[in-house]
Amino acid sequence: MNLKSMTLPELSEALKAMGQPAFRARQLYTWLHRGARSYEEMTNLPAALRERLEREAPILPPTVVRRQESARDGTIKYLWQLADGNCVETVLMRYHYGNTVCISTEVGCRMGCAFCASTIGGLVRRLEPSEMLDEVLFTQVDSGLPISHIVLMGIGEPLDNFDNVMRFLELVNSPEGMNISMRHISLSTCGLVPKIDELAKRKLQLTLSVSLHAPNDAIRDTIMPVNRAYPSEALLDACRRYYQATSRRISFEYAMIDGVNDSVENAKELIRRLRGLPAHFNLIPLNHVEESPLKPSSRAAVAAFQKTLEDAGIPATVRRTLGGDIDASCGQLRRKYTRQEQETS
């Protein structure tokens, strides 16, 4: 029984079945969403109830396997070990508007993007809602810093774990829990069109970040296998439907890859294809992955690409590189740890 993945009404029903009064559920829910590591901490619950919960629904918090803190900007990268021994990454980033945590939604990933370390080794399993919540909670507890924003851009494809991610969003947005506003949450996807449509129906006020990374199918096919299932035109049509349903502007993620997708002509092609779709571009200096031959674009190429978009009226920002002196890029720390474990076993 996974109590932390339950909503407050569900938890109330579970405790009611144990013969507990209604107010016990709110007490327990508060403790769980405060980051309690054991029932022993929950001193306002009866001892007999704590003992029963320990037997029937043990709390299994993640443990820190690696913790790296940037001397440059204070970014903290965590490698968490889950109850089954698998590991996921979380990154805490400090901005002027608050502290943002980037969380993983899966152990590994099956999307196969050529520039991403997370997908090396494929998908191991999907995270439970409680495990995603723990990434936020225990990053906050360990760092001592209040979390105000969440981005689902770590290891895994969030929409490939749709139901669990939707439950996580419900939990983290709960007024009785962390109460993080949907407008402070960004969800990234490589472009699973049916799931984008399903997300649109929910009319959540989060920011949808679409990993586009190419102006056309010829390029996108070579770096993002998902494009063969859902070509870019189908993806952009889904983005238009999403905007019509939610009135939320799409944020397009675009990794700048030297000689692949970074020419002014590439930018002009994007402008033509995005006509009429309110959008913002987040240009990302590519992080080098040892196993990949792809290289980051030059500063001049990034600047020219940005200027071309902005001259056409499309807002474009270059993502500030945080944690450059640590393994802060998605999947790098887990990949390094896994390789070391294999070498020593």
Strand partners, 283: 254, 318
The question of whether 87 is a catalytic residue gets the answer: no
Instruction: Kindly name the residue from 87, 89, 116, 135 that is annotated as catalytic.
Output: 89
The one-letter code for the residue type at 49 is L
User: H or E segment at 251?
Assistant: strand 250-256
Residue 102 bears catalytic tag: no
Catalytic residue from among 198, 265, 330, 343: 330
Task: Using CB atoms within 10 Å of the CB of residue 142, give its burial: 0 to 12 exposed, 13 to 18 middle, 19+ buried.
Answer: middle
Question: Helix 162-172 vs helix 129-143: angle between axes, to the nearest 10 degrees?
Answer: 40
How far, in Å, CA of 138 to CA of 92, rounded? Answer: 11
How far apart (Å, rounded) are the C-alpha atoms in residues 112 and 119? 5
Q: Distance between CA 220 and CA 229 in Å, rounded?
A: 12
Q: How far is CA 337 from the centre of its chain?
A: 20
Catalytic residue positions? 89, 330
